[in-house]
Structure 1
């Protein structure tokens, strides 16, 4: 299987890539399907085996809420207003630091542990630095 193109996340003034592929909502009035040839910002990756969905999204976290900022490919947003992502629930893993390794399956290793956000209907309900948690777990094992 070909590694899939990453989504983009804007968070705390930083732009990073994420392997978070939430589906778009069914029949949202702010999103339309378009023919790829009519799409804005056509990237040659869109429509290739590296992007089986035919589109990629740009997300932003603002005030503990997830927003869809833009779509590139076979869907477009009707205007430039961010869309609150109330259809999204699950874990979002946000890597930190430089990409150290990537294999053909899409597995990636970054120089710093990833930040994990728990999202429930578009709201960030819990976040953590996985490096800090793994350090606490190691310390707990030593103490026991």
Structure 2
């Protein structure tokens, strides 16, 4: 699998990349699935544009999310889906851990979100609420990958 275009996260008023793809809501009052023709037309004016229809974006959309006041919000969708609300939507349907790479990319791995960065911020979300944040130092992971000659088993 090709390295993927990441979801976007607004965290502390700064835009970050997320190495996770939280689910979008399955609610026709919140999200519309566009036809292929509509999606291609919409992509012309969007930040990620036609990249959304390449192997760099198998999901064919990019979401922009925000953490504000301890809550996780969906604020925009580009590509195959359109968010129907103008205001942020509290993502109460999301439970899981999102990963935000930090520091320099040490090893590029041409697969999904597998590239290795100096550190990762892990943010645990439960029903749209941030319940834990911790920074992971990838020094051991970097060493292991380097010593393996670039192979993971």
Would the aligned equivalents of 2:95 and 2:127 in 1 still touch at CA under 8 Å? yes
Shift of 1:54: 1.0
RMSD (CA atoms):
1.8
Moved more, 7-16 or 34-43: 34-43
Give the count of matched residue pairs. 131
Unaligned runs of 5+ in 2: 141-153
TM-score (norm 1): 0.82
Unaligned runs of 5+ in 1: 135-144
Structure 2 counterpart of 1:96: 102
Which of residues 39, 42, 62 is equivalent to 1:39?
Answer: 42
TM-score (norm 2): 0.78
Structure 1 counterpart of 2:115: 108
Aligned structure 1 segments of 4 or more residues deviating by more than 6 angstroms? none
Structure 2 counterpart of 1:141: none
Would the aligned equivalents of 1:39 and 1:75 in 2 still touch at CA under 8 Å? no
Q: How many Å separate the matches in 2 of 1:104 and 1:129? A: 24
